[in-house]
Structure 1
Amino acid sequence: MSIYRIGIDVGGTHTDAVLLDENNQVIAETKAATSADVSTGIFHAMKAVIQQGQVPRNQIKYAMLGTTHCTNAIVERKRLNEIAVIRIGAPATLAVKPLIGVPDDLREKLGQYVYIVRGGHEFDGREITKLDETDLYRIAYEIKGKVNSVAVTSVFSPVSRGHEARAAEILQEVLGEHIPVSLSSEIGSVGLLERENATILNAAVVNVAKTTADGFIEALKNEGIEARVFFGQNDGTLMSVEYAVKYPIFTIACGPTNSLRGASYLSNTSDAIVVDVGGTTTDIGVLIHSFPRESSLAVEIGGARTNFRMPDLISIGLGGGTIIRVGEDGAFTIGPDSVGYQLPEKGLIFGGDTLTATDVAVGLGKVQLGDPAKVAHLDKSVLEKVYAELVNHVEQAIDKMKTSAAPVPVILVGGGSILLPDELKGASEVIRPNYFGVANAIGAAISQVSGQVERVYSLQELGREKALEMAKQEARNEAIKAGADPDQLVVVDIEDVPLAYLPGNATRIRVKAAGALAKVEETEVV
């Protein structure tokens, strides 16, 4: 029996969906307008691609979703959990309270129940002071019935997780197993405040992730499909529903990484720069061994500074729906605002009244779309200048992402990439693969499952080889928990950075393991 999979990715303008066979060949593809509530657009895209594919529904065994639900919830400050924030770090960290530097409106939402208890560790795993379990029990009874999610952060927990683990045991003993507890050692890396912020945001979007997952599974069942569901992660891999509900923060920025993975697969290229042009923005990222390059910088999400893993991306306000304004003297501005999903109504070539980047490309004969007669009256010399500036914006962004002046392959994907020419400065070649318009959904569908660990180890105690082996095994275990086949796991990335400013020959080790999805049995359902 053939086994099929659905891949869906939510963008700012369109929600793309594809149906692939067991050889990852495209059977059907579609684009639907991204809806304000996100979910409606997902359901429309899913329904359309299933009907178009005309394959037996009982043979669709996998469904992958890359979604912006959690990002939107944080940015809009909506649908967030009622959370408690517990830091294990008194008396060492009392000078700087949790949520310092977070925007006032977000702090107001998430800072109702904030506590600092005694405990925490040094960088080498030694206790700063004993964990105050009595205080934790007091806090647990105080917040019982008032919160539905808890964020726990301990000093240097990436080195020693004992205090966080014990805190979780106490909280769930009092609050119940149904109350999720997010632990910073499982989310962020070294750097207390940024790791704490990432953990707080994770705790705040647990319900959003669960509601999204339940809705997606229910929608599949309504279509007569019993499939295993996976969510896209922001490192270009997948995770199971259970894993996604525990670590929803990892879905943030999964859209661009899906595009990078799809671009790599469609072009059969492992190292390149990917330019993903949508209706509203253009995202530029870098492929290294077929996976997105990760950012080494702290990243702001909804105004909160965090340090959990994120892809290294540049986003510019340029897409198919970008609004172009031309003055009487021929001076012009490009965006950054866009008509977005309303392009088929507002673009000049479709009978609308707004000049967009797509209209410019059509007016110059570079793209065949809509009614070219609607833009025939525009001054070609002005359009040429606008187009040159559009391309220049992209070329400058590509240059910023390069680590040397040498030309590199550039892969163009996304529906808006039809706007760009076949030659770009700084590119050794420009690749526009088949199905480039739905590369993001394909990336979601074909991705592997991964696990990653990032810890500080004291080589004085363990030795380098033992520390590396421990990190590799932890990464493999994380991948298996996320839904990977244990027999097909490989370590795809190792980073070992000595920390000269710490005593004890300390080093930070980051390991990622990835592998194919665990095989689904013909009788297995969600």
Structure 2
Amino acid sequence: MSLRIGIDVGGTHTDAVILDRDNRLVGAYKTPTTADVTTGIKNALNGVLKSSGVDPSEIKAAMLGTTHCTNAIVERKNLSRVGILRLGRPATLAIKPLTAFPEDLKEALGNIWYIAHGGHEYDGREISKLDEDEIRKYAKDMKSKGVEAVAICGVFSPVNPEHEKRAGEIIKEELEKIPITLSHEIGSIGLLERENAAVLNAAVTKVAENAINAFLGALKEAGVDKAKPYLTQNDGTLMSVEYAKRYPIRTIASGPTNSCRGAAFLTGLRDGVIVDIGGTTTLVSMIVKGFPRESAIAVEIGGVRTNFRMPDLISIGCGGGSVVRMTEEGVKIGPDSVGYRLPEEGLAWGGKVVTNTDIALAAGYAKIDDEKINLERLKVLDRDFVNKAVQKIVSEVEGCIDRIKTGPEAVPVVLVGGGGIIIPPEVYSRLKGASKVIRPEHFQFANAIGAAIAQVSGEVDRVFSLEKLSRDEALKTAKEMAISEAIKAGAKPDTVEVVEVDEIPLAYLPGNATRIRVKACGNLTI
């Protein structure tokens, strides 16, 4: 039998599922997320194997969606000391690298940066020639300052990446095995945001390597050593461990993306709104053709503005463990949460904190199979307070649905996540903005299922001159290249399809140029 295992690390729980070749659920397991993340992954892996009785040697692929990199940036822990090399002298001296970074993050990264000659104009012409001796000098200085990773960012490098590539080669000659991030491989047009994204990517390379090694170690320890390992990225597809070590920033927000893919799979929906209610937060997103819609604006990560690919998400502090209290303004929910401590601190379990889950239990529409729960404890809650809290939960979610939609018409809404029980089923038929509400079977494992069913993608982003070939020929070439990349990455050829095409005419470039970005996806070959 050929099986796949999907593991997703959330803020409150780490989930694991096992699927067979036909995507049928063979086993599922939920365990609290641990402070070090890795222990939670091991617990989930061992738990799902034990509860399902599956022979570990039958698992041929293992997929992980993890919060390691997100946590490192937000908490400013275990980040690499980064040397930042900007290629743009003399044109970019006015605003220095790291200018908009929070002070504590600057300090964590070492605040080591250089601005060298090089970079290009918007039409691909050089601003100034690359000074190789200057770069070697900076590389030696980086070495003396104990730099652990390097980020290189050239002006308009997405149009012409040659200076970045050559600078990377020089740094590699001088610093040997040190990880190097080239900004044109991470972000798009927009110097500062692309530079920021490259810096964050470089900052989490050490964290990612340790997390990946821990994942591989956990697989080996559990006897799942015949499985090919993958990490999920934030566009809903998989990447190899080698790719993940090079571009770890692509794992950020992979959790919500896994939920989107899992929800689409469990319901068969291709387009709609996904409401993922966890223990701490509710994440609302839209799926288009079965994949999460990408954000069209700059995204902040840990207080840093970036422009690399991210899903379009709305996040609110309203989860199953969110604290509910009465204030002068009325009922207030969150943003603080008891998280994975719900069984110790929740009122129904004998604790002293009133949470959204307690409200759902007190209102009578939620049922949890846990012998530690005593509903008698909830009788201290005033009925009016409970009713107002339920109304507040519903209105918070309705507000998010309204904000994520692009038009006034009602759309299908899918409820997933372990905290989905906090929405009363009686409001499904009248939830504002929803044409229908679906809470599918296995809704609480949608994120791990999304990781397990994730596809392999191939992406092409290049500029074509329409003087040499027609627009249709350029589009056809780009699509063929993207399909070829997906097959090379491990997709079954007969399952690959083009899921995204973007075309941007470049009026400022000679030769009637246009930038075409195509993404193709297919099922994993195992």
TM-score bucket of the superposed structures, by smaller chain: over 0.9
Does residue 165 (structure 1) correspond to residue 165 (structure 2)? The answer is: yes
**Structure 1 residue aligned with 2:450, among 437, 440, 443?**
443
Is the CA contact (8 Å cut-off) linking 2:45 and 2:222 kept in structure 1?
no
Is the CA contact (8 Å cut-off) linking 2:136 and 2:170 kept in structure 1?
yes
Q: Tell me the amino acid that sits aligned with residue 22 of structure 1.
A: R
Residue equivalent to 1:323: 323
Does residue 512 (structure 1) correspond to residue 511 (structure 2)? The answer is: no
User: Aligned equivalents of 1:481 and 1:199: distance in 2?
Assistant: 26
Residue equivalent to 1:493: 500
- 1:102, distance to aligned residue in structure 2 (A): 1.1
Residue equivalent to 1:196: 195
- 1:367, distance to aligned residue in structure 2 (A): 0.8
Residue equivalent to 2:376: 373
Secondary structure of residue in 1 paired with 2:194:
helix
- 1:481, distance to aligned residue in structure 2 (A): 6.3
Show the 5 A alignment for 1:382-397: 382-397=385-400
Distance 1:191 1:459, change over 3 A: farther
- 1:43, distance to aligned residue in structure 2 (A): 0.8
Distance 1:457 1:123, change over 3 A: farther
Q: Tell me the amino acid that sits aligned with residue 457 of structure 2.
A: S
- 1:505, distance to aligned residue in structure 2 (A): 4.5
Q: Tell me the amino acid that sits aligned with residue 113 of structure 1.
A: I
Does residue 186 (structure 1) correspond to residue 185 (structure 2)? The answer is: yes
| Deviating more after overlay: 441-450 vs 106-115 | 106-115
Show the 5 A alignment for 1:119-130: 119-130=118-129
| Deviating more after overlay: 448-457 vs 64-73 | 448-457
User: Aligned equivalents of 1:502 and 1:312: distance in 2?
Assistant: 30
Summarize deviations over 1:190-240 as a string: whole Å, max 9, x none.
Answer: 111100100010011111111111111111111111111110101111100
**Structure 2 residue aligned with 1:408, among 411, 421, 424?**
411
User: Aligned equivalents of 1:269 and 1:289: distance in 2?
Assistant: 8
Secondary structure of residue in 2 paired with 1:8:
strand
Is the CA contact (8 Å cut-off) linking 1:159 and 1:457 kept in structure 2?
no
Q: Tell me the amino acid that sits aligned with residue 182 of structure 2.
A: L
- 1:510, distance to aligned residue in structure 2 (A): 2.5
Q: Tell me the amino acid that sits aligned with residue 121 of structure 2.
A: E
Residue equivalent to 1:522: none
Secondary structure of residue in 2 paired with 1:376:
helix
Is the CA contact (8 Å cut-off) linking 1:158 and 1:454 kept in structure 2?
no
Summarize deviations over 1:81-135 as a string: whole Å, max 9, x none.
Answer: 1221111111221222111111111122325331111111222222222211121
- Give the TM-score, by structure 1 length: 0.93
Q: Tell me the amino acid that sits aligned with residue 216 of structure 1.
A: F
- 1:356, distance to aligned residue in structure 2 (A): 0.8
- 1:332, distance to aligned residue in structure 2 (A): 2.5
Q: Tell me the amino acid that sits aligned with residue 80 of structure 1.
A: L
- 1:181, distance to aligned residue in structure 2 (A): 1.0
User: Aligned equivalents of 2:435 and 2:289: distance in 1?
Assistant: 18
Summarize deviations over 1:422-442 as a string: whole Å, max 9, x none.
Answer: 311111111111100010000
Q: Tell me the amino acid that sits aligned with residue 158 of structure 1.
A: P
Secondary structure of residue in 2 paired with 1:6:
strand
Secondary structure of residue in 2 paired with 1:231:
strand
**Structure 2 residue aligned with 1:452, among 438, 448, 459?**
459
Is the CA contact (8 Å cut-off) linking 1:189 and 1:455 kept in structure 2?
no
| Deviating more after overlay: 492-501 vs 384-393 | 492-501
Secondary structure of residue in 1 paired with 2:199:
helix
Is the CA contact (8 Å cut-off) linking 1:151 and 1:183 kept in structure 2?
yes
Instruction: Provide the aligned length of Structure 1 versus Structure 2.
Output: 516
- 1:485, distance to aligned residue in structure 2 (A): 4.6
Identity of aligned residues (%): 56
- Give the TM-score, by structure 2 length: 0.93
Secondary structure of residue in 2 paired with 1:443:
helix
**Where do 5+ consecutive residues of structure 1 fail to align?**
520-526
- 1:468, distance to aligned residue in structure 2 (A): 3.5
- 1:351, distance to aligned residue in structure 2 (A): 1.2
Q: Tell me the amino acid that sits aligned with residue 58 of structure 1.
A: S
Distance 1:470 1:109, change over 3 A: farther
Is the CA contact (8 Å cut-off) linking 1:4 and 1:20 kept in structure 2?
yes
User: Aligned equivalents of 1:196 and 1:474: distance in 2?
Assistant: 28
Residue equivalent to 2:149: 149
User: Aligned equivalents of 1:470 and 1:182: distance in 2?
Assistant: 28
Secondary structure of residue in 1 paired with 2:380:
coil
Q: Tell me the amino acid that sits aligned with residue 452 of structure 1.
A: E
Is the CA contact (8 Å cut-off) linking 1:158 and 1:456 kept in structure 2?
no
Q: Tell me the amino acid that sits aligned with residue 137 of structure 1.
A: R
Residue equivalent to 2:15: 16
Distance 1:113 1:39, change over 3 A: same
Distance 1:11 1:96, change over 3 A: same
Does residue 44 (structure 1) correspond to residue 47 (structure 2)? The answer is: no
Show the 5 A alignment for 1:65-104: 65-104=64-103
Residue equivalent to 1:417: 420
Distance 1:271 1:341, change over 3 A: same
- 1:501, distance to aligned residue in structure 2 (A): 6.8
User: Aligned equivalents of 1:116 and 1:275: distance in 2?
Assistant: 44
User: Aligned equivalents of 1:483 and 1:71: distance in 2?
Assistant: 27
Is the CA contact (8 Å cut-off) linking 1:124 and 1:457 kept in structure 2?
no
Residue equivalent to 2:311: 311
**Structure 2 residue aligned with 1:434, among 437, 441, 444?**
441
- 1:497, distance to aligned residue in structure 2 (A): 2.8
Residue equivalent to 2:132: 133
Secondary structure of residue in 2 paired with 1:92:
coil
| Deviating more after overlay: 409-418 vs 109-118 | 109-118
**Where do 5+ consecutive residues of structure 2 fail to align?**
none
Secondary structure of residue in 1 paired with 2:320:
coil
Is the CA contact (8 Å cut-off) linking 1:121 and 1:155 kept in structure 2?
yes
Summarize deviations over 1:264-308 as a string: whole Å, max 9, x none.
Answer: 001111111000000110000001000000000001111111000
